[in-house]
Amino acid sequence: MNISGNLASKFRRKQMNQVFLQSAMQISAEMKPDSVVLCTNSVLDETLLTELKEKHRLIMVTNDANRCLQLLDSGIAIEHYSKKSDVQEDLVRDIVFMLLNSKQITESSTILFLYSKNDWDCFSQILYLELGNIAEANYLKSLSSLTHIAPLQILETVIEIALELCREGREGKPIGTILVVGDHKKVLQSSRSLVFNPFKGYTIRERDILKQEVRDSVKEMAKIDGALVISDRGIVQAGGQYLDFRATDIQVGPGLGSRHTAAAAVSRGTTCMAVAISESTGVVRAFVNGEVFLQINPRQNSPIKL
């Protein structure tokens, strides 16, 4: 065991954290953010923390449950980041979403972030954010009202898959399809297979959309006719489904056809979110209760709650 090497590494991390905290003091004095968010598991310099806490609202984010307990009496707002996934996510975006959900910040907050994507014990990046200029803040706030359908992480992942289908497409064009998440038993009761179910016979783990390889499979299966049906736990139940729901009085707007009508109808007939991708424009529309709930144009990167 290289004890001296480990001690040297810990000392360097401690030094690095102090440098970043000192930089945060200078930047926050100039920019005056609403909150300073420290994403770390490390024990930080008490003097610098106290100074930051006196001048700014301080939020500590840790992915270590034990560290959360240690900080309970610190007088600092504490958040436990517990997201676990094989998919490489944008850490800052995920934490912004989490803080919005817990009401630690608002859509108009300005935030100074200290974090590292790969090492929760040593800061490596500083980022100043004005959430009022970030469309995703409103996008997540919209999805967070749908957690009766599925957990936020599942809803977000389904939207991300839809956006990837638009951007990656086929032969330079978006792939038109429908992704249905939530209330899968009722959805399948009123659906019929257009093709042999490509997900039949696989284990739950092999159908979990939080796994990158499953996301890739979903994107491949989206190329076949019919909708993909996903449970509220993020488990793909079936592909190639014809959604046979009554479309009486469904109005999806000018220029939108049978795919969007089917998505609206299934969302009205069940407790689900149905995401329809327009093959012609690439616009992603999420339907809830028979109406467009969220519309995203990935080319403009502009999520809009309707």
At 249, the pLDDT band (50, 70, 90 cuts) reads confident
Which of 89, 117, 133 finishes a domain?
133
Which of 104, 133, 162 finishes a domain?
133
pLDDT of residue 67: 80
Q: Could you give the CA distance from residue 53 to residue 91 in angstroms, rounded to a whole number? A: 23
143 in the same domain as 243: yes
Contact 128, 111 (CB under 8 A): yes
185 in the same domain as 106: no
176 in the same domain as 293: yes
95 in the same domain as 188: no
At 294, the pLDDT band (50, 70, 90 cuts) reads confident
Measuring CA to CA, which residue among 114, 108, 107 is closest to residue 128? 114
pLDDT in tens, 69-109: 777 777 788 888 877 644 445 678 778 878 887 889 887 78
Write out the DSSP string of 72-108: TTTTSEEEE-----SS---HHHHHHHHHHHTTSS-TT
Give the domain CATH number at 15.
Answer: 3.40.1380.20
Mean pLDDT, residues 278-282: 83
282 in the same domain as 211: yes
Measuring CA to CA, which residue among 220, 239, 79, 107 is closest to residue 161? 220
Q: Could you give the CA distance from residue 102 to residue 97 in angstroms, rounded to a whole number? A: 9
Mean pLDDT taken over the chain: 84
159 in the same domain as 61: no
State the residue range of the domain holding 112: 3-133
165 in the same domain as 280: yes
230 in the same domain as 291: yes
143 in the same domain as 282: yes
Which of 94, 111, 133 finishes a domain?
133
Contact 209, 154 (CB under 8 A): yes
145 in the same domain as 292: yes
Dihedral sign computed on CA atoms, order 187, 277, 303, 93 = positive
260 in the same domain as 126: no
Give the domain CATH number at 208.
Answer: 3.40.1700.10
For the question of whether the overall pTM of this predicted structure is more than 0.85, the answer is no
Q: Could you give the CA distance from residue 60 to residue 77 in angstroms, rounded to a whole number? A: 6
145 in the same domain as 31: no
At 134, the pLDDT band (50, 70, 90 cuts) reads low
| Number of structural domains found in the chain | 2
